[in-house]
Every structure is written in C-alpha cells, then in structure tokens.
Amino acid sequence: MIHNISFIGAGKVARQLAPALNAAGHKIRQIFSRQAEKATEVAAPIGAQSIADLHQLTASADLYIVAVNDDAIPLVCEKMATVMSHNPLVVHTSGAASAEKIAPYFERYGVFYPLQTFTEKRALSFREIPLCIYANEDRDQERLLAIGHSISEKVFEIDDDQRATLHVAAVFVNNFTNHLFGIGKDILSSKNIPFEILLPLIEETAAKVQELDPTKSQTGPASRKDMTTIRKHLRLLSEFPEYQKLYHQFTIAINERLKKAVKPSN
Amino acid sequence: MIHNISFIGAGKVARQLAPALNAAGHKIRQIFSRQAEKATEVAAPIGAQSIADLHQLTASADLYIVAVNDDAIPLVCEKMATVMSHNPLVVHTSGAASAEKIAPYFERYGVFYPLQTFTEKRALSFREIPLCIYANEDRDQERLLAIGHSISEKVFEIDDDQRATLHVAAVFVNNFTNHLFGIGKDILSSKNIPFEILLPLIEETAAKVQELDPTKSQTGPASRKDMTTIRKHLRLLSEFPEYQKLYHQFTIAINERLKKAVKPSN
C-alpha cells in the first residue's frame, strides 16, 4: 500500500530514508528543515515540497517521520501538534529516544529506526539496513512493518526496551570500533607508517564476523596468552599511556570472555 | 623470477601462502609439519613433498619460509641449520618476532609477514593482502620484494621496529575490534535480540574507514557529548560491570582524541 509521508528534519537519516521511500512508490509530501536549503536538497529530487516553517506543515500525509536530534523530538512534536488536527501517525527515527517522547502530543506514535551509520555523501542501499519498528497501536505496527518491508529485507519488531539495548550494542560495534581504528592510525603515525596498510585487515575483521561467531574467531596474543608478545606490545605503547591502559584492559577482558564462553557448553 | 620455496609449518599462514606462491609460478618443494596429515593437506594440491621430520628437509629450495608459532622459530631454525649447509635465505612470517631470531642460525634471513587475519576455511585473495618484507641483505630484500609483488599488489619494506608497531596497531583494529563485536553479541543476548541485526552496521563501519579518516567520521553519543544518552547507556549496562567500565573509558577517550585532532589544524 502506498503511503503519504512527510519528514520533519533533513539531516543524515532523512537524506537517505526519504529517497528510499520515494523509490519504493510512497509519496513524499513535505520535507521540513529550519535551514530552507537543506530541506530543498532533499525535497526537490523526489518531488516533495520543502518547508522551513513548521506552521506550513499540512495534513497531506498519513505518516510523519521526525528525523531530528533526540533532544529536539519533544519540541518538534509540540509544535506539530499545534498545526495538525487529523490524528496522524508520528514516528521518530532515533535509537536512543523512547517512543513515549511523542505520546504527550499524538495519540498514534511509534519508531522507525534504521540501524546503520549514515554519512554525508555515502549513499547506502536500504535493502540491507535493519529497520526497527514499533507503534503503540497494532494497526499502526502493521502499517509500519509494511512500509519497512517496502524498502528493506530486514525488518524487526523492536520495543523501546530492546531498542535501547540495541543502541548500546551499536555504540560498541560502531563508535568504539571506529575509535580503535583511530588508535591504530595514531600508533602507525608515530612510526610514519601509512594507515592504508591496515585497511585490508579491518575489512576482513568485519567480513569474518558476518559468518563466524566473534567468540570462536577471536585471535591474537591475548586469546592465546602469549605473554612475550603482550609484554612487548605494552612496552611499545609507552609513549601512548592511554592506549597502553586500554591494551591492558582488553587483554584481561578477552581472556575473561573466552573463559566464560568455554564453560557452559564445552 | 621463479623461486624454489619450502615451508616449515602447515598452519593457517602456510595453508594460504603456499598455494598463492604456487599459483604465481613459484615451485613449492617441501612442506614440513610434525603432523604428517597437515603437511600432506597443504603439499598434495600443489605438487610439493610433505615431510613430518625436519631431517628430511633438502637443499632443493633457495627460500625457506618458517611459518610456525613465534616461540618455535629459534628451535625450528636450530634444527634446520643442522641439516642444511647451502646458505639459503630463511624468513619467518611473524608480525611480532624479530628477524634477528633467525640470525644465530643462518647468515641470510628476513621476514615475509602478510598483514591479515587468517581463518581455517576462509580462502583469501593475496592480491589485496599487504606484505611486509625485510631481509638483512639488500639482494635478498630485492628477491623478497619481487616474490611479494608476484602475489600481492601491496608490498611494503618494513623493518623490525616498524613491524612491531604495525603488529600492535593490528591488535587494536583486529583483536580488540573483534572483542567489541563479542560484547555487542553479549549485550543483545541479554534481551534475546539476534546478533545478525548488528552485522550491516559492522560491515558499514569497516567500509566507511576505507574511504574516510576515522577521526572525521567518529559519530555517536561520546563524540557529540550527548550526556542524556551516555547516562542512559551506562545505566543499561549495569548488569555488565566490565562493559560499563569500558563504555565509560571509551567515552572519555573518544572525547580526548577528538579534542587533540581538532587543535593543530582547525
């Protein structure tokens, strides 16, 4: 079923989600951003109206997607409620914010959270992006699931509690992992070695976990308790006390985790 | 130029490196492993002789690749020296061990270190694997570079000191990153959420860093100092005190790192 959809926000999520929904046959009605130019950039290519004032938001849509910073969600919803009286379904796209943030302003609410890291200028195929769906009413849940399936092969029903947990896990595998990449870069810079040399290893690390359990495929000096190498590495990191500390902790943590993993079944 | 090459060791590295060298036209002479079956598995498909006793090692090769655990390198070299008198070039494939470990036993020595994580049953294309080359003599260095180029597009001259640094950096971006994937899995398990839901995010995290500087593409609550989300996440991690501690440290570290990165140029 085709839906009429409007976006509040023209940031990284809206920029990719709006064209994907448009390509799936949905009609994108309005794109709001306080920065008129940003709204137009998203709206123009998909035949939507761009607006820079929330008072211009019309009742033309049956689904309103609030894709703004977490902190702005209640403010935006409050303003929206003053201009709309047609009882629409309103969802946000946040991993961290509760769906209940919308509840004071709209009867029908939910979440449409794409679990991915979006970057300006990196177009991603939505077919492979997991969508975490929730609505407070069953019929709306069905609607959102159908919309989700129209753009992605990976649609999950995820409640507030689960989504919060998912978001923490995402921080570990994305934000923290990226920080480790940064550390790798810093360490190499100190010896004038180009970061590029690590890229195939990084690629394979992520490719491997697509097929193999990360516990089973854990390798390295920590997992094999190679004290000679561990001591050598800690010594080498003496000019980076913070990274030395982190190395120490990871070494202990990897051992602890592998010990626990072996206990129950083997 | 075609080389005659023998392998001491039939583990994860030899299993992938020997066929790659064979495919590039080199003649693989002998494969040694104390486990005869393992040696045969590697040797048979590429027409090499498999041996389970180092005394059977012949002078048929001009390059001997020692692909064994770091600790075993000196022992293996000592034994090899007793049976070979033709002054061959002997290299190991370790990221952590010094090339000098071979020096007491052979005049011509070096390193042929493929910077990648090797997994049983995951065949990788060597063309994309960075090879770190070192030899104590210039002519041998040239030889190893040529052999490297025959199988990979990414060949680097890396001395002992640089290789040690590279190995530490590899531990951060591979071993520690994989541990973060394991943490992500543990966190999701606690709420019965399948780990699969994180896989596209992991894939994109690694894909992004192939093109973008990890400092510039750092996202998440830590990088934007989103205290509401950080506090929520720390609370959610209360059943995992170790992961809570790690979350706390990464949050501080990401901020520190971004601060430093901004200072010099912006």
For residue range B70-83, list pLDDT tens digits in order.
999 999 999 999 99
B227 touches chain A (CB under 8 A): no
Task: Name the residue among A156, A186, A205 with its Cβ closest to that of B178.
Answer: A205
How many domains is chain B partitioned into structurally? 2
Task: Name the residue among A124, A169, A203 with its Cβ closest to that of B188.
Answer: A169
pLDDT of residue A197: 97
Ordered DSSP codes for B126-151:
GGGS-EEEEESSHHHHHHHHHHHHHH
Closest chain B CA to residue A221: B171
Q: B 68-97 residues with CB below 8 A of A?
A: 70-71, 96
pLDDT of residue B260: 85
pLDDT of residue B120: 82
Q: Which has the closest alpha carbon to B173: A252, A188, A27? A: A188
Mean pLDDT over all residues of chain B? 95
Domain extent for A146: 4-158
Residues of A in contact with B215 (CB under 8 A): 182, 185
What is the enclosing helix (H) or strand (E) of B6? strand B4-8
pLDDT of residue B262: 64
| Same-domain check for residues B130 and B252 | no
Task: Name the residue among B165, B190, B219 with its Cβ closest to that of A193.
Answer: B165
Q: pTM of the full predicted structure?
A: 0.93
A44 touches chain B (CB under 8 A): no
**Based on the number of CB atoms within 10 Å of its own CB, is B143 exposed (0-12), middle (13-18) or buried (19 or more)?**
buried
Give me B213's structure tokens.
């500087």
| Same-domain check for residues A45 and A140 | yes
| Same-domain check for residues A128 and A176 | no
pLDDT of residue A265: 42
Write out chain A's pLDDT in tens, 266 residues.
899 999 999 999 999 999 999 999 999 999 999 999 999 999 999 999 999 999 999 999 999 999 999 999 999 999 999 999 889 999 999 999 999 999 999 999 999 999 999 988 888 899 999 999 999 999 999 999 999 999 999 999 999 999 999 999 999 999 999 999 999 999 999 999 999 999 999 999 999 999 999 999 899 999 989 999 999 999 999 999 999 999 999 999 999 999 887 654 43
Last residue of a domain, one of B100, B126, B158: B158
pLDDT of residue A223: 92
| Same-domain check for residues B238 and B196 | yes
| Same-domain check for residues B131 and B110 | yes
pLDDT digits (tens, 9 = 90+) for A33-47: 999 999 999 999 999
Q: Choose from A197, A235, A256 for mutation: most chain B CBs within 10 A.
A: A197
Task: Return d(Cα A21, Cα A25) in angstroms, integer.
Answer: 7
> Does residue A206 sit in helix, strand or coil?
helix
| Same-domain check for residues B13 and B131 | yes
pLDDT digits (tens, 9 = 90+) for B158-206: 999 999 999 999 999 999 999 999 999 999 999 999 999 999 999 999 9
We report the CATH number of the domain holding residue B172 as: 1.10.1040.20
Is the pLDDT at B265 greater than 60? The verdict is no
Last residue of a domain, one of A113, A136, A158: A158
Q: Does A250 contact B191 at a Cβ distance shorter than 8 Å?
A: no
Closest chain A CA to residue B224: A69
Q: Does A180 contact B176 at a Cβ distance shorter than 8 Å?
A: yes
Mean pLDDT of the B212-237 span = 93
| Same-domain check for residues B69 and B175 | no
Q: Does B214 contact A178 at a Cβ distance shorter than 8 Å?
A: yes
What is the enclosing helix (H) or strand (E) of B201? helix B199-208
| Same-domain check for residues B154 and B168 | no
B125 touches chain A (CB under 8 A): no
- Residue A20 to chain B, least CA–CA distance (Å): 17
B247 touches chain A (CB under 8 A): yes
| Same-domain check for residues B210 and B96 | no
A233 touches chain B (CB under 8 A): yes
Task: Return d(Cα B52, Cα B36) in angstroms, integer.
Answer: 5
B31 vs B219, higher pLDDT: B31
Q: Choose from A163, A168, A188, A248 for mutation: most chain B CBs within 10 A.
A: A168
Contact between B106 and B79 (Cβ < 8 Å) = no
| Same-domain check for residues A32 and A152 | yes
Q: Which has the closest alpha carbon to A36: A10, A13, A7, A18? A: A10
Is the pLDDT at B242 greater than 70? The verdict is yes
pLDDT of residue B144: 98
Query: What does each C-alpha distance from A253 to A14, A248, B78, B159 come to in angstroms?
Result: 38, 9, 36, 31
| Same-domain check for residues B90 and B220 | no
| Same-domain check for residues B70 and B131 | yes
Last residue of a domain, one of A113, A131, A158: A158
We report the CATH number of the domain holding residue A32 as: 3.40.50.720
